[in-house]
Structure 1
């Protein structure tokens, strides 16, 4: 560093001839950017943003120790620091456009804020940042297990916007230990949290320690079970910023109130490059082993960690979204022993609502007069909500036939019973009870459109 090259004589001489300001004592930073004149809003010209990198480690200050030792300590003056009321700011910006929110975030935090880019539709954040005319930073987590299409897309985005994405990588020793002890695909057996913690959460934690704020692409409609109440700006509930401690990091969610279809309309209108995986049915894009295309009738987050229950659809980057109750809550609805105030689903006269006693009796019958198709569901589950239309239509098509269609609410106090006796793995689970068989047959496909469900019924009745 530059200050380390000065001799103690030169330093003493400079102190005796003039006073030293606090700015002069700071070691110069590598990679600082030169501010440029802000362009009018909406200017479509592309510019390269040269900025400080996200700090992966704490900044060293060894080189200023000799200088500090020769100084006369100045009189300390108490400085009053005003704290921002971010809860009030969130309310003030609740109806603001994503562009306004992005502009406010970049204005407040300058070089100490960065956009988290995953390689999916959150490229909209980069486009909004460009439109503000302010300098901005972009970082991403390279887990080492992304799709080839995502890596190519990163390169395309860098060239399109004239930026350098600041990549954060997992610790090689930690990854090596995980793979040696548990193999490459342990998450299929014991859940994704451990792998995500090593490959994503800890690298993110290091990145955020060099920032005072970060910008995410979270939307309320992405995962109703965990993201339904996110504000446009908040004190980060899970991570710390460069100053350390609770409240040291601010989290901005400029598109929190925007629906997915409106994001895509914006991307098309602005001719923004998108990940080629989107054209193959991928909506939410993560690591290759844990992401797949969604099918008709499925919610976009159902393509992530599809082998797990819906309440686990977070990797840990936004773990503050997950409530600690037994089941997720939606829009303030509470759950007490399975009796929630959230509105019920699958409501039609062509469909039978089964009680606990009813489903137990149905399961015990060895010979039935009719076959039954029953969905085990929870009304708060976004994946159950996504298939509501197709299941109701199926029930109406089968009305008057030899197949009865029913529903059994299997959350709350009934969940353990359903897991033990009815093959419940995650919501929704669909069972077919044949007329002359005591054991129900589980619908194993993820396709929940009317034609697929009807083909399942026709093959068994």
Structure 2
């Protein structure tokens, strides 16, 4: 269990500025005498309190934890009016509130019926904010079984630093066994990450949330412009149910929704809290080991997640409510972007330049069959609706102009819709955009391996293969 009433040395100062609340008298549950437990707040940064809160699931807890029935534990100073709360109105009222104010509000309203979702990345900021309030709080995490060793070590560091027990949720062993036996350990590289995430993350989360009335996440608007740009600081969860069941039975708090990434890191530095060592290795957004890698300079943090897919909406399903219905029409079951009308959508074409050759299906088939070409070719396989393709349009046109004067040609082939299967089977298409180089004397094109698509890097690739 993750339950603490510890007060760090700076907390008294911070509480005086933000939300003063001195330790109250001991509180006890309204349970029968035999089931009663009492809680006494004790100051001190390393205070370890045996957990008195109900578990998120019925899993075995550590030997020192005391786990009474949920209905028999009273929350400290819980706001009793949250059933009738208008959360859209509250979100507007708190739009400019600080993360600390939002955290305070969440913990006051829900007491031990709320928990912080901790992923082992910047969510440490949420735990620090909760600690600063001086109120009891719970932390849970999803152990998928595929996390980096550094992340597991970080969990242990966090527990010791804050004197808490993280409540771990695990995937169903039978479901994992069926997935691995049927499709192998790395099937997500071939058919997308959604199925594996559903088994290892979404279903365990669903079980966890069924034991709560609210949860706290580390979502930020700047994390994923495609899916998180409009998240409010508090909302009724559109995807999951709480302990009472039904839509609207779970409240979702996003205290750092309006905070930008650099400001989160400034806060972590100032507060001198532990961070995942993977961050110093170039990892920004951290998930499972096979599906996370460091990002390159200039790349968005979410490009390090499921990089082999071309989805703008890079979500694992934990926050699938962020994806709007109209955007979902452009995503297939694997999370990859597809044309809603099989390639014939009325979307303006891109890569329009006199220096670029627009190749038809026959044209690229002929180019691919040639073993002796008069000059080398660079060809981009693209879809005009893909924002990654749109983002590299300027640099690719500039590259085409550079090649025109050096004995090389640049072309484009629209590879979505009816041409997508052919491009995947014959042209190494994995995601949009895919860039192919056809040397003068070669039987097969060479696929550009990097996600850096600036002119200098692309030109270095071409010159290395001339």
Rounded Cα–Cα distance in structure 2 between residues aligned with 1:286 and 1:96 = 29
Q: Is 1:454 the equivalent of 2:459?
A: yes
Rounded Cα–Cα distance in structure 2 between residues aligned with 1:397 and 1:26 = 83
Rounded Cα–Cα distance in structure 2 between residues aligned with 1:89 and 1:80 = 13
Rounded Cα–Cα distance in structure 1 between residues aligned with 2:293 and 2:54 = 32
Contact 2:379–2:437 (Cα < 8 Å) also in 1: yes
User: Which deviates more, 266-275 or 138-147?
Assistant: 266-275
409 and 215 in structure 1: CA distance in 2 versus 1, 3 angstrom threshold: farther
User: Which deviates more, 257-266 or 404-413?
Assistant: 404-413
SS of structure 2 residue aligned to 1:114: strand
Please give the residue correspondences for 1:112-131 in structure 2 after superposition, counting only pairs within 5 Å.
112-131=113-132
- How far did residue 226 of structure 1 move? 2.8
1:191 corresponding residue in structure 2: 192
Contact 1:302–1:383 (Cα < 8 Å) also in 2: no
Contact 2:30–2:36 (Cα < 8 Å) also in 1: no
Rounded Cα–Cα distance in structure 2 between residues aligned with 1:99 and 1:81 = 19
- How far did residue 211 of structure 1 move? 0.7
Contact 1:311–1:327 (Cα < 8 Å) also in 2: no
1:327 corresponding residue in structure 2: 330
Q: Is 1:426 the equivalent of 2:427?
A: no
* Coordinate RMSD, CA, aligned: 4.1
1:180 corresponding residue in structure 2: 181
Please give the residue correspondences for 1:196-275 in structure 2 after superposition, counting only pairs within 5 Å.
196-275=197-276
SS of structure 2 residue aligned to 1:228: coil
Question: Which stretches in structure 1 are left out of the alignment for 5+ residues?
Answer: 1-21, 38-43, 65-78, 329-333
Contact 2:148–2:289 (Cα < 8 Å) also in 1: yes
- How far did residue 207 of structure 1 move? 1.0
Q: Is 1:91 the equivalent of 2:92?
A: yes
Rounded Cα–Cα distance in structure 2 between residues aligned with 1:458 and 1:372 = 12
SS of structure 2 residue aligned to 1:262: helix
407 and 263 in structure 1: CA distance in 2 versus 1, 3 angstrom threshold: farther
Rounded Cα–Cα distance in structure 1 between residues aligned with 2:314 and 2:275 = 23
46 and 396 in structure 1: CA distance in 2 versus 1, 3 angstrom threshold: farther
Could you tell me the TM-score, scaled by structure 2's length? 0.73
Looking at CA atoms only, which structure, 1 or 2, has the larger radius of gyration?
1
Please give the residue correspondences for 1:326-405 in structure 2 after superposition, counting only pairs within 5 Å.
326-327=329-330, 337-340=344-347, 352=356, 361=363, 364=366, 371-377=376-382, 381=386, 383-384=388-389, 391=396, 394=399, 398=403, 400-405=405-410
Could you tell me the TM-score, scaled by structure 1's length? 0.74
Residue by residue, what CA displacement relative to the aligned partner does 1:85-142 show, whole Å, maximum 9, x if unpaired? 2222222333333223222222222211111001012212112222333222111011
Question: Which stretches in structure 2 are left out of the alignment for 5+ residues?
Answer: 1-28, 60-66, 73-79, 332-338
Contact 1:53–1:166 (Cα < 8 Å) also in 2: no
Contact 1:115–1:137 (Cα < 8 Å) also in 2: yes
Residue by residue, what CA displacement relative to the aligned partner does 1:348-402 show, whole Å, maximum 9, x if unpaired? x7974x6675x86466455877644343445765655675686576556556433
Rounded Cα–Cα distance in structure 1 between residues aligned with 2:90 and 2:382 = 38
80 and 251 in structure 1: CA distance in 2 versus 1, 3 angstrom threshold: closer
- How far did residue 433 of structure 1 move? 4.3
Rounded Cα–Cα distance in structure 2 between residues aligned with 1:144 and 1:310 = 25
Residue by residue, what CA displacement relative to the aligned partner does 1:141-183 show, whole Å, maximum 9, x if unpaired? 1112211111110111112222221111222233233333333
Rounded Cα–Cα distance in structure 1 between residues aligned with 2:109 and 2:81 = 18
Rounded Cα–Cα distance in structure 1 between residues aligned with 2:310 and 2:316 = 13
Rounded Cα–Cα distance in structure 1 between residues aligned with 2:265 and 2:190 = 35
Residue by residue, what CA displacement relative to the aligned partner does 1:19-58 show, whole Å, maximum 9, x if unpaired? xxx945698477x754579xxxxxx956656451432149
